[in-house]
Amino acid sequence: MIPDPDKENHMTLTDLAATSTAASAPAHPLASLTATEIEAVRAVVLSLPSTTEQTRFAYVGLDEPAKGDILAWEQGAPAPARVARVQLLDMLSARSSDLRVSLATGEVLSETVLDGTAGQLPVLDAEFEAVGDIANADEAWIAALAARGLATSDVVLVPLSAGHYGYAQEDGRRILRAFAFQQFSPSDHPWAHPVDGLTAYIDVADRRIIEIVDTPGFDIPQTSGNFDDPAVQGPPLEGLKPIEITQPEGSSFTVEDEHVVWGDWDLRIGFDTREGLIMRQLSFKGRPVMYRGSISEMVVPYGDPAPNRFWQNYFDTGEYLFGRYTNELELGCDCVGDITYLDVTLADELGLPRTVRNGVCMHEEDFGSLWKHTDIFTGSAEVRRQRRLVISFFTTVGNYDYGFFWYLYLDGTIECEAKLTGILFTSAYPGEGYPFASEVAPGLGAPYHQHLFSARLDMTVDGIANVVNEIDAVRVPISAENPAGNAFTKQVTPITSELVSGRVADGARNRVWQIASTEKTTAMGQPTSYVLFPTETPVLLADDDSSIAARATFATKNLFVTKYDPAERYAAGDFVNQHPGGAGIPEFIAGDEPLVGEDLVLWHTFGLTHFPRNEDWPVMPMDYAKFTLKPYNFFERNPTLNVPPSTAAHCAPKAVSGGYGPAGHDHSGHDHAGPDHSGHDHAGHDHHGHHHG
């Protein structure tokens, strides 16, 4: 059986229900699993005849009720049942199972045993940790290192997900591929010293290397990557004065049991081992906007076709479950200002609850001018300041650190921003002019790669009857109607069914996607809507016939739209690890459901393409990728007219002269603590302030 540090965990849920701790369920059916519920799930698993001492918990999370059941509950129907989804791996036999467990009765509602042909369970930390012992006991691996003048004690191994390349010897097996990096001392960052040309393919259940790819001829780079060494950092930068960010009266938001209220916003948040932070049931001024938003998947495909590297591509959500690597955040380092932290409760691989202290950060940020006008006729001079609510977390997946920030603005705008930092995944640089990597230090390469995130946006714009329209800016040729040739207009194309929903952003056309109600209108008859503004960066650059394109079809377009289905939660499917391809989006759109006046889910790919530069070494400055959702005719007028003016002392008017306008009026109205001639607001328009980084 599983090692059991607490014999009470052998109790059934029926037994636990008799105790005061297990009897109390969360007040909301979408609440994240509690420690008590995780312990109860573990008790059920311990009682199963298939459970052994080698059984590990790959995933434990809430199996969310269908949207219709939640909406019915809000109208007075009984609360949907609390159900946990549990994925179990036997480390010795590789038996993999996917269970649904009732949190009320302890009944196993369903169990699916995976055969490995349609993907594997996510990679476990226990498997990562086993790779060193497996490789270091292999004579061929020891000999390959010795041929490079190295012993096993000189290197650390970096195990990575294997992908799927049709290798018969890997069918049905749990495979990891491992690189070696030389480490000169326990404090030496080994990323500076890749032992290139050497890769081990490892069956982690059989605990053996099944293949070694040995391509000699690469020197091990000797540069330093020790960015935390004062000798590398150099003398501290002088002249930086302290910045203090204070809210003397405290924050303007409230949060209780994952329920958040701020200004006109009302929402719930949640946290999941796989998806990380989840934004739920967002409404503005009492009107629904988005039912659920999350990062459902991400992929990091590398572009180096070398024999040892062609397979590098990582699904940090589906293969690694990036939520489990959530950082514990520190005030003054990761977050600055009046901060509210929320702890995160997850299950470890033994099924025990563990707490990530300060896993989620919430705070307000000043964001410069909200609206402003100085009128040349009336003399009116009004300005209001924008602010935003920031809800975020950071996770470290191997060499990269990712922050995911959701921003809510006073005017109803929603943004999601990914922040990327950490250390480049390195290689030896083959030589001048190599077309698939940058040389970032002497002899040290950094392969070209992409970071592509799939945001699952379950929209409810004024209800569940929506349509998505693609809106392009179009030229109008010179004609009798347009004799001067100055005209341009917009082209609106409804996305009518799932199979035609794959769309690519186009900056030349100012392309956006409007999520419009098919039932609600403004007083002027316009459909109420929100608009998704993408950023125009490349989608997946791998060939359409490549393995990664088949496995990450979501990343081949910036947008797919599907009719809501509670079973369709992850853009690359449920079991991404070693999946041959075709899961997720291809399956979701195969039925070609109609999409006009329906309950819709948008799958939006955003990200960046990285050609590394010298400045990215030895640790990367923060990079950013984001998208924006803005109200478009959702309101009858500017919804922020009621935002009060600032009253702080630094807003006192200054005497200025000059200005333009009718004689007899001083229309300068310039707040010289604010915009300058470039249009930038230097009085706190901090695009990246207070962030965890």
Q: Are 445 and 522 members of one domain?
A: yes
Q: In this model, does residue 679 exceed pLDDT 50?
A: no
Enumerate long-range contacts of 125-133, CB under 8 Å, 24 or more apart: 125/349, 126/56, 126/91, 126/349, 127/91, 127/159, 127/174, 127/176, 127/204, 128/159, 128/176, 130/204, 130/207, 131/157, 131/159, 131/176, 131/178, 131/200, 131/202, 131/204, 132/156, 132/157, 133/207
CB 276 within 8 A of CB 296: no
Say yes or no: 280 and 325 in one domain. Answer: yes
The domain that holds 445 is classified in CATH as: 2.70.98.20
* pLDDT above 80: residue 274: yes
Tell me, what DSSP letter sits at residue 78? P
Strand partners, 56: 89
Residues 390 and 465 in one domain: yes
So what's the pLDDT on residue 671?
39
| Arithmetic mean of pLDDT, 343-354 | 98
Q: Which residue type sits at 179? A: F
Q: How confident is the model at residue 651 (pLDDT cuts 50, 70, 90)?
A: low
From the list 278, 164, 137, 502, the residue with the least C-alpha distance to 268 is: 278
Question: Could you tell me which of 129, 133, 181, 192 has the C-alpha nearest to residue 157?
Answer: 181
CA angle (59 as vertex; 55, 63 as ends), nearest 5: 125
Computed over every residue of the chain, the mean pLDDT equals 91
Residue 648 — very low, low, confident or very high, per pLDDT cuts 50/70/90? low
The reply to whether 52 and 160 lie within a common domain is: no
**66/278 Cα distance (integer angstroms):** 16
What CATH number should be reported for the domain holding residue 177?
3.10.450.40
Compute how many other C-beta atoms are within 10 angstroms of the C-beta atom of residue 384: 17
% of the chain exceeding 90 in pLDDT: 87
Residue range 442-466: mean pLDDT, rounded: 98
pLDDT, tens only, 503-524: 999 999 999 999 999 999 999 9
Catalytic residue among 302, 400, 409, 448: 400
Do 178 and 266 sit in the same domain of this protein?
A: no
Mean pLDDT across the stretch 652-680?
40
Q: Is the pLDDT of residue 334 over 90?
A: no
pLDDT band at 26 (very low <50, low <70, confident <90, very high): confident
Q: Is 679 contained in some domain?
A: no
pLDDT at position 518: 98
* 660 included as an active-site residue: no
User: How would you label 591-605 residue by residue, b for 16+ Cβ within 10 Å and e otherwise?
Assistant: eebebbebbbbbbbb
What pLDDT is stored for residue 55 in this prediction? 98
What pLDDT was estimated at residue 10? 35
pLDDT-based confidence at residue 652 (cuts at 50, 70, 90): low
Q: What is the pLDDT of residue 662?
A: 40
Bridge partners (DSSP) listed for residue 101: 84, 108
Specify whether 75 is located in the same domain as 175: no
Give me the pLDDT at residue 20, please: 32
What is the average pLDDT across 161-169? 97
pLDDT computed for residue 22 by the predictor = 39
- Shared domain check, 405 and 547: yes
What value does the mean pLDDT take over residues 320-344? Answer: 92
Summarize pLDDT for 589-610 with one digit per residue, the tens. Answer: 999 999 999 999 999 999 999 9
Give residue 649's pLDDT band: very low, low, confident or very high (50, 70, 90).
low
Residue 244, in any domain of the structure: no
Q: What percent of the chain is predicted at pLDDT more than 70? A: 90
Check whether 491 has a pLDDT greater than 80.
yes
Q: Of 231, 265, 287, which closes a domain?
A: 231
Model pLDDT for residues 528-554, shown as the tens digit of each residue: 999 999 999 999 999 999 999 999 999
Would you say residue 419 lies in a domain?
yes
Kindly tell me if the per-residue pLDDT of 669 is higher than 90: no
pLDDT band for 659, please (50, 70, 90 cuts).
Answer: very low
Burial 104-141 (b: 16+ CB within 10 A, else e): eebebeeeeebebeebbbbbbeebbebbeebbeebeeb
Domain endpoint, select from 605, 632, 659:
632
Mean pLDDT across the stretch 421-447?
Answer: 97
Two tokens at 194? 């890749």
Strand (E) or helix (H) holding 419: strand 414-422
Same domain, 531 and 511: yes
- The mean pLDDT value for 617-643 works out to 98
- Report the pLDDT value the prediction gives residue 134, as an integer from 0 to 100: 98
Chain segment 374-425, per-residue pLDDT in tens: 999 999 999 999 999 999 999 999 999 999 999 999 999 999 999 999 999 9
Domain check: are 110 and 151 in the same one? no
Looking at the structure, tell me whether residues 261 and 320 fall in a common domain. Answer: yes
Does 597 fall in a domain?
Answer: yes
Is position 400 annotated as part of the catalytic site?
yes
Query: What DSSP character marks residue 331?
Result: B
pLDDT score of 658: 41
- 107 and 129 assigned to the same domain: no
Marked catalytic residue, from 63, 272, 316, 462: 316
Cβ atoms of residues 309 and 428 within 8 Å: no
* pLDDT for the residue 5: 47
Q: Looking at the 3D structure of the chain, how many domains does it have?
A: 3
Across 556-583, average pLDDT: 98
Do 414 and 556 belong to one domain? yes
The pLDDT assigned to 86 comes to: 98
In a domain, 135, yes or no: yes
Q: Tell me: the pLDDT tens digits for 78-109?
A: 999 999 999 999 999 999 999 999 999 999 99
Whether pLDDT at 7 is above 90: no
Per-residue pLDDT band for 667 (boundaries 50, 70, 90) equals: very low
657 belongs to a structural domain: no
Question: Which domain covers residue 56, as residue numbers?
Answer: 7-114
Residue at 327 is within a domain? yes
Query: Which residue, among 203, 192, 5, 183, has the nearest Cα to 91 in the 3D structure?
Result: 203
pLDDT value of position 650: 58
The region of weakest confidence among 136-140, 290-294, 677-681 is 677-681
pLDDT-derived band at 191 (thresholds 50, 70, 90) equals very high
Q: Is residue 243 part of a domain?
A: no
